[in-house]
Structure 1
Amino acid sequence: PGFEEGYKACLAATDKAVPEGSIGAGTGATVGKILGIEKAIKSGLGTDSQMIAGDIVVAALVVVNAVGDVVDSRNGKTIAGPRNEQNKGFLSTLDLLKQMCDWQSWAATNTTLCVVATNASLSKEQVNKLAQMAQDGFARAINPSHMMHDGDTVFALSLGDKTCDINILGSVAADVVSRAIVRAVQKAKTLGGIPSISDMVK
């Protein structure tokens, strides 16, 4: 994407709910790819937001296309990972890694992209700190995360004139990002022969 695409995106901006799941940049997203795409789970695009002190908003939009498993940090449950032989449950990517030394056999293109925005007024340095702290949400919800075959990136935006401590904003941002990652998997639909978790439950 370039300048023209960015301009079109601004024109299309809305205050309505953002579609989630297997749409847009999330169409081809998958997770749990340690055993190859044939054992992966469908992922997509997820969003979440949190209100702080009544009028401060921290929001995140994430496209989750990762090697690792996805974990709901609120209860510690793995909700997506490489499918087992019966295709009724998940194997642990970390446990499988402990049995390997060959990384290239399952290497693939993976990128988890995230945008975090707030209506708090922040300096350039504070926005960078917001992005840094927000990325902790990756480690909470993707296990393992930040691997060499993952392209993990967080962009942060400050779009308002409200006042809020950066430590509070960053802490909340990490939580919001982790929840958005979970939603990206929960909202995904089976596509291209790769099942969603909702179809596996059925």
Structure 2
Amino acid sequence: MPSMTSASPPAGAITDVAGLEVGHWTATQRPTGCTVVLARAGAVGGVDVRGAAPGTRETDLLAPANLVDRVHAVLLSGGSAWGLDAAGGVMLWLDRQGIGLDVGVARVPIVPAAVLFDLHVGDASIRPDAAAGEAACEAASAQPPAEGCVGAGTGAVVGKVFGLDLAMKGGIGTASVRAGGFTVGALVACNAVGDVLDPETGTLLAGARTPDGRALRDTRTALLAGEAPRRLLAGTNTTIGVVATDAVLTKAQAQRLAMAGHDGFARAIRPAHTMLDGDTLFALGTGTSGRPPDMLLLATLAAEAVARATVRAVLTARSLTLGSLHLPAACDLPAAR
């Protein structure tokens, strides 16, 4: 299997950030699923949406000028807009735990969410719902989460610029980095229209394949050479994720952390943030370190963690065959520069 470099440090996980848990629900009927990041004690939240075709919920409240400053979970889901229903299940589960924003007459769990499009892989009538969101919460733990073709990454596909038949399998990945007494972790479900590469070496890892299907095509080089992309439906691609830290953040700093995290997408995916993608990154600050951040350092760590998690999303994926559709994984093809 390709790797970032032979000297790469251990990948780590978003759950290395104290105060967070992750759980997956993976459908058995077709490749789809959802993933929840729980912050039972609440976390300061932020978001940055860069793709032009997003599917999201509760993102407006994360704006620094708006009132609510803490969230209790973030949901990442397959199923396109249908998958947003799974966030209701996360709310129900949190409500049973007595977790939420105290509004006097009740506690209202705050659960932002983002979805990716995986309806073209199997029976599109099967998608994550409220029961799926609850199941993901039941499965959540502080242990390093499973990666690859699980949860929100189950039906993810990358490299679709020249058609689904020449694309490859995406997935979900996680990573963490530590410096200056802070931990920053990321969880990324990669369903990009573009290719995924190792940002350290520039080596392509997964993406559009050559017409014979046996090697990587290099979408950037092909487009620059004048090769015409296939006509694709906007919104059928998206990379979504969460970047989190144990630093004590304000809402404005959380938004800035999400913005910096998108640099990791841009380093590991090309092209990123397209008109056909709904790239969305949430940020969480658990505050468990008890220390305010050095934002220059934290932004650097955020971009690094997101890039590494994006790479992990394709390196841990496995091939998928559905009828005549075969989507190889990074481990099935030789990497090419």
The TM-score with structure 1 as length reference comes to: 0.91
Residue type at the aligned position of 1:45: I
Q: Secondary structure at the match of 1:59?
A: strand
Equivalent positions of 1:106-145 (< 5 A) are: 106-107=232-233, 109-145=236-272
Which among 184, 206, 210 is matched to residue 80 of structure 1? 206
What do the CA deviations read for 1:124-165 (whole angstroms, capped 9, x no partner)? 000000000111111100011111001100000000223321
Q: Distance in 1 between matches of 2:307 and 2:174?
A: 10
* Cross-structure match for 2:7: none
What do the CA deviations read for 1:21-66 (whole angstroms, capped 9, x no partner)? 011110110111011110001010000001122x411000000000
Which range moves more in the overlay, 87-96 or 179-188? 87-96
- Decide which structure has greater helix share: 1
> Is the contact made by 1:32 and 1:40 (CA closer than 8 Å) also made in structure 2?
yes
* Cross-structure match for 2:299: 170
Q: Distance in 2 between matches of 1:25 and 1:152?
A: 14
Name the structure, 1 or 2, with higher relative contact order (CA <8 Å, separation 6+). Answer: 1
Q: Secondary structure at the match of 2:140?
A: coil
* Cross-structure match for 1:62: 188
Is 2:326 the counterpart of 1:198?
no
Q: Distance in 2 between matches of 1:10 and 1:188?
A: 23
> Is the contact made by 1:121 and 1:159 (CA closer than 8 Å) also made in structure 2?
yes
Q: Secondary structure at the match of 2:185?
A: strand
5+ long unaligned stretches in structure 2:
1-85, 95-133
Q: Distance in 2 between matches of 1:87 and 1:2?
A: 38
* Cross-structure match for 2:275: 148
Residue type at the aligned position of 1:120: A
> Is the contact made by 1:87 and 1:200 (CA closer than 8 Å) also made in structure 2?
no
Residue type at the aligned position of 2:295: I
* Cross-structure match for 2:310: 181
**Post-superposition shift, 1:96?**
2.9
What do the CA deviations read for 1:144-193 (whole angstroms, capped 9, x no partner)? 11110011000000002233211211111001101111110000001132
Q: Figure out how many residues of one structure are paired with residues of the other and give that number.
A: 200
The TM-score with structure 2 as length reference comes to: 0.56
Q: Identity, % of aligned pairs?
A: 44
Q: Distance in 2 between matches of 1:17 and 1:52?
A: 20
